[in-house]
């Protein structure tokens, strides 16, 4: 074998190795391509988000307060329309996605960034409150008050229902533990209480054994010392007073009546 034959054989081996390497490289690239593409897409997305944030920051810096307020109002209206067109399932999914995204963002923030974000949110909320008119503030306060009132009412209703169930269970256990004599006495007491309440026409509190008093002023047999007219005993101004009539100023004015003539006397006494 001469030198030219050795050279041709080496060339053949080199070409065979190149073909083998060329066939193996696409397979290796196919294995690594998804991970590389995913990393590149994540990096591009991060760069895109950073560029958008910087662009929005520059745009906001060039806006006036009125333009910022108008843009916020437009965004709020657009979001409100979008939410109105969503179903309950879509709203729940959107809330869950927003919550997960916020959780990821908070987890990636450092302590200083979290403090800075809270300060920015506080300042933004303060600006929003300052931009509101007095009427809008009153409406928001009324809405918040009504919401808190509804929450308190719901809590009170739930607490009342729980207490009612607890009281019913306590009464049931107490009745189960009572003897026959105790149950008979309790039944008689309830019946007596029901009769007394039915007979009473007022809501005055009294003992169960007390009978309701009749609503009577008594007899009109108390004579006024000033004019001689008859009155009820409750018309006295004091316990030992004898003057009852107002027109005699409770006895301070003594009025002497002249005798009636024949005709008025007959009319008064029924003889006319």
Q: Is position 56 within any domain?
A: yes
Question: Both ends of the chain: CA-CA distance in Å?
Answer: 179
Q: Is position 228 within any domain?
A: no
In this prediction, residue 268 carries a pLDDT of 56
Q: How many Å apart are CA 164 and CA 258, to the nearest integer?
A: 75
In this prediction, residue 253 carries a pLDDT of 57
Q: Is position 57 within any domain?
A: yes
Predicted confidence band of residue 28 (pLDDT cuts 50, 70, 90): very low
Q: Is position 66 within any domain?
A: yes
Residue 226 has pLDDT above 80, yes or no: no
Q: Is position 48 within any domain?
A: yes
The burial class, CB within 10 Å (0-12 / 13-18 / 19+), for 227 is middle
Residue 225 and residue 243 in contact, taking contact as beta carbons nearer than 8 Å: yes
Q: How many Å apart are CA 183 and CA 178, to the nearest integer?
A: 6
Average pLDDT over residues 242-271: 58
The burial class, CB within 10 Å (0-12 / 13-18 / 19+), for 118 is exposed
Residue carrying the six token digits 């008064």: 268
Look at 14 and 20; give whichever has higher pLDDT. 14
Length of the chain: 272
121-149 per-residue burial string, b: 16 or more CB within 10 A, e: under 16: eeeeeeeeeeeeeeeeeeeeeeeeeeeee
Average pLDDT over residues 10-39: 56
CA angle 61, 67, 68 (to 5 degrees): 60
User: What digits encode the pLDDT tens for the residues 129-174?
Assistant: 777 667 777 777 788 888 888 888 888 888 888 888 888 888 888 8
User: What digits encode the pLDDT tens for the residues 174-222?
Assistant: 877 777 788 888 888 888 777 666 655 555 555 555 555 556 667 788 7
In this prediction, residue 3 carries a pLDDT of 46
Average pLDDT over residues 233-241: 66
Residue carrying the six token digits 């006895």: 251
Count of domains observed in the chain: 1
**Owning domain of residue 67:** 39-73
Q: From the centroid of its chain, how far is CA 150?
A: 4
For 224, other C-beta atoms within 10 Å of its C-beta total 20
Residue 13 has pLDDT above 60, yes or no: no
Q: To 10 degrees, the CA torsion angle through 137, 141, 147, 149?
A: -160
For 226, other C-beta atoms within 10 Å of its C-beta total 20
Q: Is position 60 within any domain?
A: yes
Lowest mean pLDDT segment, chosen from 30-39, 64-73, 123-132, 177-186: 30-39
Residue 227 and residue 247 in contact, taking contact as beta carbons nearer than 8 Å: yes
For residue 243, give both structure tokens: 């003057």
In this prediction, residue 251 carries a pLDDT of 55
Q: Is position 49 within any domain?
A: yes
Q: Is position 69 within any domain?
A: yes
């Amino acid at each position: 074998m001469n030198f030219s034959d050795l050279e041709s054989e080496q060339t053949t081996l080199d070409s065979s190795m190149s073909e083998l390497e060329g066939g193996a490289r696409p397979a290796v690239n196919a294995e690594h391509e998804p991970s590389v593409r995913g990393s590149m897409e994540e990096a591009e997305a991060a760069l895109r988000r950073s560029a958008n944030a910087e662009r929005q920051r520059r745009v906001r810096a060039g806006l006036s307060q009125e333009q910022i307020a108008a843009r916020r109002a437009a965004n709020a209206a657009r979001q409100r329309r979008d939410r109105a067109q969503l179903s309950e399932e879509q709203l729940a999914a959107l809330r869950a996605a927003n919550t997960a995204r916020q959780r990821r963002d908070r987890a990636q923030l450092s302590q200083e960034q979290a403090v800075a974000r809270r300060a920015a949110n506080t300042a933004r909320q303060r600006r929003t409150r300052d931009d509101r008119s007095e009427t809008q503030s009153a409406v928001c306060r009324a809405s918040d008050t009504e919401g808190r009132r509804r929450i308190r009412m719901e809590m009170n209703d739930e607490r009342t229902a729980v207490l009612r169930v607890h009281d019913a269970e306590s009464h049931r256990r107490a009745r189960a533990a009572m003897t026959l004599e105790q149950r008979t006495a309790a039944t008689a007491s309830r019946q007596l209480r029901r009769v007394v309440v039915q007979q009473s026409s007022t809501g005055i509190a009294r003992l169960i054994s007390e009978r309701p008093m009749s609503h009577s002023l008594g007899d009109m047999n108390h004579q006024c010392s000033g004019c001689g007219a008859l009155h009820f005993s409750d018309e006295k101004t004091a316990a030992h007073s004898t003057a009852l009539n107002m027109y005699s100023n409770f006895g301070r004015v003594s009025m002497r009546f002249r005798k009636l003539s024949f005709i008025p006397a007959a009319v008064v006494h029924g003889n006319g």
